[in-house]
Amino acid sequence: MAEASPITSRWLDRTTPPHITTLVLIAGVGALNMNIFLPSLPSMAVWFQAEYATVALAISAYLAVTAVLQLFIGPLSDRYGRRPVILVSVSLFVLATIGCYLSTTIEAFLSFRFMQAVIASGLVLSRAVVRDMVGPDRAASMIGYVTMGMSVVPMIGPLLGGELDSAFGWHGSVGVLIGFGLLVLALSWADMGETNHTPSSSFGAQFRTYPELLRARRFWGYALVAAFASGAFFAFLGGGPFVATQILGLSPETMGRYFSLIALGYMFGNYLSGRYVARIGLNRMMLMGATTAASGAVLSIVLFGVGLVHPLSLFIPMAMVGMGNGLALPSANAGLVSVRPHLAGSASGLGGALMIGGGAALSAVTGALLSVESGVWPLLLMMLVASLLSAAAAIYVIRRQQAVEGTATV
């Protein structure tokens, strides 16, 4: 497919596409909201006088709600445009976050927490906006740079959450989210120019395009690469805090600092993807990322297997998993929105739903399998299997493209 001509962005100009910094922050607020609460879950259970498993729904059930919403966000943006969907979503997010701050019961908190999931629009539409602006290879490169910048947010999220919890309790994290949300709302209003210039005729008609996507085999390949790659990370979100605190004996603050190693690996992978994907190609970059992530899981299994029970035996290999995801996910996301470019929003939403939904399932299953008696093994084996399945999906995409093109060139 020929590359689309790049569209010039002008900073703080609502008549042009958004600046890359705006896309980073729009996606970043959703990423921060996903993990800033991790170090605060034990203290929230005490504050709300609730079971830890109930409070943990703020992560696992939140991911499930996010997955469902992504099915609607993409078609809405294809019908009504990227800009209005972003503005409404961020506004609702700010209101829901204020509700979280004012909550006095766990039921009220979780209700507003699930409403916060509307901020998934930032994660979905940052990909669709990029695909509106440029062609597939340029999109993979640009998504790589966007997610590299965005990865700074989850890198500091657990660290920031741990420090805020120590100083102000869990309310400190919510206060930061309110401020960040207001900043992103103002920036989106000033800089988020519309990029969908061929909206669909109706919302129902847009939903009826899903069968076209579901019949596209390469869409499934790209979506499964993304789902299993992110599933390895979400499995770590579900089990990593338990392993870090209950098996390795880390405090919330120390755990947050170690978590930053994973995001550093992810950011480095994003950098390599943005720099080299045009030369290497989407498909081979995905395969390289998946094999790198699997190698990280294998390394951790070996280290714990020989008796090196130390935080670095977990977090250094997990940085490799993060780097692998940083290599694979930009290409997988660019690929799934490029199979049917006229359905970029729907493809991004459906692919994101599969990615987050699968991640939520793996997070919940991993958390349920872990115990002090089981040690780290359920977590590491789950991450290894997910990474290997991501590699298998990447191989399928490569072979499918070779069959379509009738050539051995990827």
**Residue 127 has what pLDDT?**
74
Q: How confident is the model at residue 310 (pLDDT cuts 50, 70, 90)?
A: very high
Average pLDDT over residues 197-203: 72
User: Do 239 and 314 touch, CB atoms closer than 8 A?
Assistant: no
Average pLDDT over residues 29-43: 83
Residue 329: CB atoms within 10 Å: 27
Token pair in block for residue 127: 């990909």
Q: How confident is the model at residue 38 (pLDDT cuts 50, 70, 90)?
A: confident
Residues present in the chain in total:
410
Among 61-75, 110-124, 318-332, the least confident range: 61-75
Q: What are the extents of the domains in the chain?
A: 20-405
**Residue 75 has what pLDDT?**
80
User: Would the pLDDT of 4 be above 60?
Assistant: no
List pLDDT tens digits, range 154-171.
Answer: 567 777 887 888 889 899
User: Would the pLDDT of 223 be above 80?
Assistant: yes
User: Do 123 and 107 touch, CB atoms closer than 8 A?
Assistant: no
Q: How confident is the model at residue 2 (pLDDT cuts 50, 70, 90)?
A: very low
Residue 396: CB atoms within 10 Å: 18
Most confident of 192-206, 223-237, 306-320, 334-348: 306-320
CA distances from 43 to 16, 37, 192, 366 (A): 45, 10, 38, 22
More confident residue, 219 or 146: 219
From the number of C-beta atoms within 10 Å of its C-beta (0-12, 13-18, 19+), residue 409 rates as exposed
DSSP class of 17: P
Helix (H) or strand (E) holding 110: helix 106-115
User: Would the pLDDT of 81 be above 50?
Assistant: yes
Dihedral sign of CA atoms 281, 286, 291, 297 in order: positive
Find the DSSP H helices in 281-376.
282-305, 311-336, 344-369
User: Do 118 and 93 touch, CB atoms closer than 8 A?
Assistant: yes
User: Do 287 and 395 touch, CB atoms closer than 8 A?
Assistant: yes
Angstrom distance (rounded) from CA 301 to CA 319? 14
Q: Is domain 20-405 classified as CATH 3.30.70.870? A: no
Percent of the chain with pLDDT strictly greater than 90: 35
